[in-house]
Structure 1
């Protein structure tokens, strides 16, 4: 119940009841609510500008922004782990794979180079988090480039490995006469005494002394280029073209076990020891050629000799004795 208000009337020396006119009361109420609305609006504007409180939309955007920053942190962590893995692969690629297959290493500045020219990320500028976004995008692009380069390098290594496997099968790699069939390794590569003239002469192959009819083995895969007796001093001889510039010669044979144009595999019997041509006794004269030059066959026995057998063979072949042809 509203309180009744009085005022003192000095004329009548008594208290009289205050009568509020209805229109005035309504006007006072209107003024009060107007002032309250203005004060509320001003307070809201001040609070919003001071960032003391946020609208629901702003709160939602703030949560979304925090989530995006968290996702960027996780992305950067994942990229760091990928960069470590790629760096490990690049190191093995340069220092093991490419070295083994005789390929030039890929320079680090080529693997990790950025992108020159126009600004690739101009469309990402002008935002609150532009710097963070551009940094992440740059790292990702460089990482993608490194992975692409590494992928191409591994494709090259696979191709080289396949070629290397074929190469290793073809080049001469075993002794043409088995140790158990040998009488002795009669003469090696180098200066020797000619058995006919006794003059000092360079011997371009190795002589293996063995009984007539002892099997002779192809030292690597290849194609028989010649099987005849039309080479001066060699008598019956065989030449095998191994590819990659390699050729092997087997001379003074008693008979052939292959013909010209025939494909042979390492370890196939291609002929038998004899004493034909310019020879002082039954033996095999064996030569290895590379790019039309004769080289020391001692470098091509890694596929059939133990370390001790190789050392013994090396010692015997280095003696400057008399050759058999």
Structure 2
């Protein structure tokens, strides 16, 4: 007997049952997503790149919640509502400035990171951003010999005369430019083959700070997930007893991925998250690809360093946007 053949009194009950089943099917993906996100259980699975889009899932999770509440389906409605609230709790704080932004008095320092997309990003735009935003430290990723030449021709050396450079053709090169002399310089090579240039600066009146251009492998395929996880685990942790650190670059990770949260928990602040700009996209559609924007470029500052502001800027011929952070360094003791 079909629904249309059923006795009139049973038809609404069957329709309601079918509606309830459909609602459970609608909310189940968001529920599973929430459990994995809260537990940090993505591991080396294909879920790693998907979790970068958690902010979009957080918005969509309100659809089954509203349907459940409006149709008075109590149990699935409550489950859907709890799911939506949990995802909102993960995502929404990034759009709200923290009460504690760290040090408020000290030596001001503007830093910038820019992924140059195989070295082809517009060098003139990068140099203009450095000049107009008083940038004292620039970290570049996907830094090629051609990029080194184009930045030099655009006049970067006049603004940031000190450098630690490791250019390579392709995506693996790294560079660090500074207004201040660099000491203790070097380049680390990650498990995934990407370079990370680093060095110590000490602006006048400030304590020394170690700055590093971060670039772990991208989790762009199943065969790369282990390398990405290894690179993230190898990123230098904050050392409360040692020199303060600033890690800035393309982390190929959003705050919805457990390895990045673990790194930050060692003693860093995510600058954009701190000032309420943590949902501003830095990678995705900026070179024309139909990809929703996500935030994978970060400035991580030791908790002994204050965060004042963060701005994000388009750079022609790159799929990444440049991130500029205004920081406050502790005074020299």
Q: TM-score, normalised by structure 2?
A: 0.28
- Higher normalized helix content (fraction of residues): 1
Determine which structure has more spread, i.e. the larger CA radius of gyration.
Answer: 1
Q: TM-score, normalised by structure 1?
A: 0.28
